[in-house]
Amino acid sequence: MIRAELKKLAHHSAIYGAADVLPYLVNFFLLPIFTAYLSREDYGALGILLLFGVLTKIFFRMGLDSGFFRIYYELTSERDRKILAMTLFAAAFSISTVLFAACALFAAPIGRLLLGDEIGESQVSHWILLVAADTFLNTFAFVPMNLFRIRGRPKAFSVMTLFRGFLNIGLKLGLVVSGWGVTGVLLADAAASLLFVIALLPTLVRNLALGFSWSMLSRSAAFGLPKVPHGLAHQVLNLSDRKLIEIFSTLAASGLYHIGYVMGTGVKFFLSAFELAWSPFVYAQLEKPDAPRILARIATYAFAALCGFGLLNAIFGRELLFLMAEPKFHAAHSVIPVVVLAYVIQGVFALTSIGIGISKKTRYFPMITIAAAALNVVLNLFWIPRFGILGAAWSTVAGYALMAGLGFWLGNRHYPIPFEGRRLSKIVLAAGMAFALSTLAPRNLWAAVPLKAFACAIFPVALWAFGFFREDEIRWLRSLLAFPGVPEEPAPP
């Protein structure tokens, strides 16, 4: 049973992951070009505009995309599902139209609030308008993209994501090299979103039916609206440090931190792919009598994979930054392992807080993230003036740690899951040993690689030495690797 479910989850995660990783890799290999044409100040402005863009996504959708995903599973009639899609799309479109008009009307004061007076008001207003337009266009995408996930069509989801990603990269490269700077980056985002939405329109139209249900809107809003303060607090936790660094230091320092942060989010692509497959997987298990046991075992495997990817990112992040970015950005390497740790802890929250979503106690999400964001901001206020960008990175770790702890406690109160604590602690210990060994590597770029590769290899060896693997799992892994003379074994119970 678990083997079949694990294969399905891994298959879907791999497909979703390809959609994220391939554009990321292309962007990564283009980093020498982008860092040559964009300054630290440009990256600082982009980091702050990224915060604005994420906040507009939260307000423009008002949690209706989450509500659609959850309520869809409760409907049995295809017509009811189409009415749900029509209801939530119409509501989101109406909200987005009003808020886009507000962003256009107040672009200048919003720009001054975000970026001060260092950059011309007219320029910043155009940036605000482009970010808001990108968000507005994506209102047309949430219904078809969620349907791909719900109906188990990760390939369709990934094809559309790749289409948008590579289109965005091509436009961005052409505009930045042509001297458009930050404006070129934002214009590429908006143009790619427009073409992406046009490609999705047939899927959207096929899944809408004439009608509007206040009852469905109410149920979806009851589930999704708590995600709004949750999302806001999460972005304060995740992105507000860019603005605080700019306040306490300079826009250039914020840009330096932004580059280091981006280099530390390689693990995010495993996490994002997994989360896209994890939610529909979890909801599909609920009718099974042994669902808690299945979820606990899968969480163990997922955490081991998350730590493995995190180690690769943390250990080789410095070398990759030095290879791919201009020297003016090399000082950002110190924050990379800390950012990786923050994202690993975010993954722990995603794994251990599932009881909150299952039990529909979504009111807890904003409570958790507001507490974490408040801690993050307070620590930033104390640590950024003293420790600079490292202080900002460790503040993010502290915020996510509080978030993970509260998510585990509240989730297990309402839907207990027998997480495998001893095995999870062995994963943490093995990963910690591997990373500690990597810190002994010499500073020379190429001399460091062999020892760091050895440190990464220590992780699975340490898991085996600590007795992490059960005998049935060892036999199963051997059968998967097709070791000679070993027959295929049944799935781990």
pLDDT for 487 equals 46
Q: What is the DSSP letter of 487?
A: P
pLDDT for 228 equals 75
Does residue 329 carry a pLDDT above 70? yes
Q: Which has the higher per-residue pLDDT, 75 or 464?
A: 464
pLDDT for 431 equals 93
State the average pLDDT for the chain: 81
Q: Give CA–CA dist 170/93, Å, rounded.
A: 29
Helix (H, G, I), strand (E, B) or coil at 440: coil
Q: pLDDT tens across 194-251, in order?
A: 999 999 889 888 888 888 888 878 877 777 677 677 777 776 776 677 778 878 877 7
pLDDT for 194 equals 93
Does residue 118 carry a pLDDT above 70? no
pLDDT for 239 equals 65
Residues contacting residue 119 through CB under 8 Å, at least 6 positions apart:
45
pLDDT for 485 equals 45
Does residue 7 carry a pLDDT above 60? no
Query: pTM of this prediction?
Result: 0.68
pLDDT for 14 equals 54
Write down the residue that tokens 């990269």 correspond to. Answer: 169
Q: pLDDT tens across 54-96, in order?
A: 888 888 888 777 777 667 767 778 888 888 888 888 888 898 9
- Provide the sign of the torsion angle of the four alpha carbons 212, 218, 220, 226, taken in this order: positive
Q: Give CA–CA dist 298/470, Å, rounded.
A: 14
Which is nearest to 321 in space by CA: 259, 270, 391? 259
Average pLDDT over residues 469-476: 76
The count of C-alpha atoms lying within 13 angstroms of the C-alpha of 64, restricted to the half-sphere facing its C-beta, is 26
pLDDT for 11 equals 53
Does residue 2 carry a pLDDT above 60? no
Does residue 103 carry a pLDDT above 80? yes
Average pLDDT over residues 409-437: 90
Q: Which has the higher per-residue pLDDT, 42 or 427?
A: 427
Q: pLDDT tens across 175-199, in order?
A: 888 888 888 889 998 999 999 999 9
pLDDT for 483 equals 44
pLDDT for 480 equals 58
Does residue 340 carry a pLDDT above 90? yes
Helix (H, G, I), strand (E, B) or coil at 484: coil
- Structural contact between residues 466 and 437, judged by C-beta atoms closer than 8 angstroms: no
Which helix (H) or strand (E) segment holds residue 367: the answer is helix 364-387
Q: What is the DSSP letter of 140?
A: G
Q: Where are the domains of the chain?
A: 63-221
> To 5 degrees, how large is the angle CA 359–CA 362–CA 364?
105
**Cβ count near 47 (within 10 Å):** 24
pLDDT for 273 equals 66
Q: pLDDT tens across 267-325, in order?
A: 777 776 676 667 667 766 677 778 888 888 888 988 998 999 899 989 998 888 888 77
pLDDT for 42 equals 82
**Cβ count near 114 (within 10 Å):** 18
- Give me 431's structure tokens: 């990963």
pLDDT for 36 equals 80
Distances (CA, A) of 54 to 49, 236, 293: 9, 10, 35
Residues contacting residue 167 through CB under 8 Å, at least 6 positions apart:
191, 192, 195, 196
Does residue 484 carry a pLDDT above 50? no
N- to C-terminal Cα distance for the chain?
A: 7
Does residue 457 carry a pLDDT above 60? yes
Q: Give CA–CA dist 175/191, Å, rounded.
A: 12
Q: Give CA–CA dist 223/394, Å, rounded.
A: 32
pLDDT for 195 equals 93
Does residue 3 carry a pLDDT above 70? no
- Structural contact between residues 456 and 441, judged by C-beta atoms closer than 8 angstroms: no
Average pLDDT over residues 379-388: 90
Q: Give CA–CA dist 261/271, Å, rounded.
A: 16
Number of residues assigned to the chain: 493
Residue 100 — very low, low, confident or very high, per pLDDT cuts 50/70/90? very high
Distances (CA, A) of 381 to 99, 243, 376: 31, 11, 9
Q: pLDDT tens across 393-418, in order?
A: 999 999 999 999 998 998 888 888 88
Q: Give percent of the chain above pLDDT 70.
A: 85
Q: Give CA–CA dist 85/208, Å, rounded.
A: 6
Write down the residue that tokens 């149920």 correspond to. Answer: 219
Q: pLDDT tens across 248-273, in order?
A: 877 788 878 888 888 887 777 777 66
Q: Give CA–CA dist 369/103, Å, rounded.
A: 26
Average pLDDT over residues 443-470: 87
